[in-house]
Structure 1
Amino acid sequence: MRRFRISLLTLALAACAFGAQAAGPEIETLAGRARDLFDYGRWSDARQEFLRVRAALTPSDRLLAQEAEFYLAACAVELGSPDAEGALREFAERYPESVYANDVRFALGSFYCAAGNMEKAREAFGQTDYKALSAPRREQYDIRMGYVEFAGGDYRKAYDYFDRIGSRSEYVDHARYYKAYIDYAEGRYGRAKQAFTTLLRSDAYRDVVPYYLLQIEFREGNYRYVVENGEALARRAVPERRAELERVMAESWFRLEDFNKTLEHLAAFRKSGGEMDRDASYLEGFSLYRTARYAEAAEWLRKACGAEDALT
């Protein structure tokens, strides 16, 4: 499952008005442009502007200097800079009473989340005062904490975080995808199918969604849907996923009693790296038997035998 990266939203500027008292109008205009660039997600341009702000400050511009330092650290997070963590921790040490202290903890959590260090992300987010965040940043906190819990295997907590994301949010597709996956993994196929179908319109997820829809239709016994839609998916799938698709199509053709097609897809399953377990060996052996290839069938049916269970 691929990892996705979520950008920081607009940061709280509680000290902005006070910093402007010390700074001149020209420097405040420059700082305002830098903030706007940051808000629009133009991290590199924002960083350059905040570097200009910092270079133009006088010793009396203490609050604006603090703001610039914070934004430079936040830009480092967004740009994936290797010194982002150090910049945030240095800021926290230099300005322990800063109005940005909560934002720093949040930014650290975001950095660790993007870096895949979920334990540290959980720790930093746990130290963040959720209620002190602005509404947009609480939304971002929820999507990231949802991902942290999802990666840790706690689907219930993850679902609760993703469920907080509103239908008008820029993160709605991400939240919908992970909720749909959790529903799918826990057997709530109707709800999962509804969400995955909606995601067919998503630029981020339209390519992966048909795979899950095919699996759901298979589990619901809609074998004709599987054989009619599986071929196109298998052709463009990576080997591991292709093996799964070929296995599903093989069993679907088996259920539809086309045993030559079953054998064809089982061969493709093995070619893609799939391992023949007892169930697959039974499908192979029975299909060979039904196509009058008895000697080959006997060999595969022996492999399907094991403990004294229903299959044996």
Structure 2
Amino acid sequence: MPMSSPVVVGGSGGGGGMLLCSPTPGLSASTFNRISSPTLRLNFSTAFALNNQGRFLSKTHLNNGRRELRLVVGAAESTQSSSVATVTADKSLVPDDEFSLAKVSFGVIGLGVGVTLLSYGFGAYFNILPGSEWSALMLTYGFPLAIIGMALKYAELKPVPCLTYSDAQELREKYATPILKQVRSDVTRYRYGDEQHLDEALKRIFQYGQGGGIPRRNAPTLQMIREEVTEDGKYCLVLVFEAKALELSDFEQRQAKFASFFGPGITAEIVGGGQNLYEVRLISNTAS
């Protein structure tokens, strides 16, 4: 196999130093010259070896001072990394660490306060704890509070997780419709007495027990919601349902009903998420 001709690179600075490179067949003179752009400097005095895919041994004899060889490496990788970092920054998740009473379970509060009053009241009544003069009052209020707390705890519906991207948060207040804002608020707080989130909406859309509808036991269950921005820059609220007894076609044939119920001013899209998960994308038609 023929070898490429040696590449001679003149040294910079004073003196008549010369670098003689004997490349392997995979490295031509033009390739070597392309990677010799001035960004990465390798200072050497007598000899060096470079090994990267193709191997070549380089020797130099220096008369005066040092010579510098400048190489460009990883330019494409650096550009790609910066692009990925920019996209990641734009799509960063917003932490949901804001305190709100809607995120507090009144069942837990009532049960906790009631049980505490009952426990201390009994202890004070039998002189195990101080404050016997207040024992009757603590027992009087502790018992109903504990009962109310247990009832609320039994009937409570926990909020679903909400993933919000930073770009969607910026568009929400200005471009999300009032109904989309209300949906987000309702499903991310504790509710009491409802069997599941969006129960009334799902009942009308899937027509439980009616002709052309589905049995109530097959009703989809809301698992989470997600706020994101579409490719054309519109605000989108994604409802992620789990439905083990339904198929994608059951959602697709009700796409117009989703748009009608959660409208006006929105477009509904249905996407299969796999593992019995289905996404209903409610896209605001308000242009950003």
TM-score grouping bracket, smaller chain normalisation:
under 0.3
Task: Give the TM-score normalised by the residue count of structure 2.
Answer: 0.24
Higher relative contact order (Cα pairs below 8 Å, separated by 6+ residues): 2
The structure carrying a bigger helix percent of its residues is 1
The structure carrying a bigger strand percent of its residues is 2
Please tell me whether Structure 1 or Structure 2 has the larger radius of gyration of its CA atoms: 2
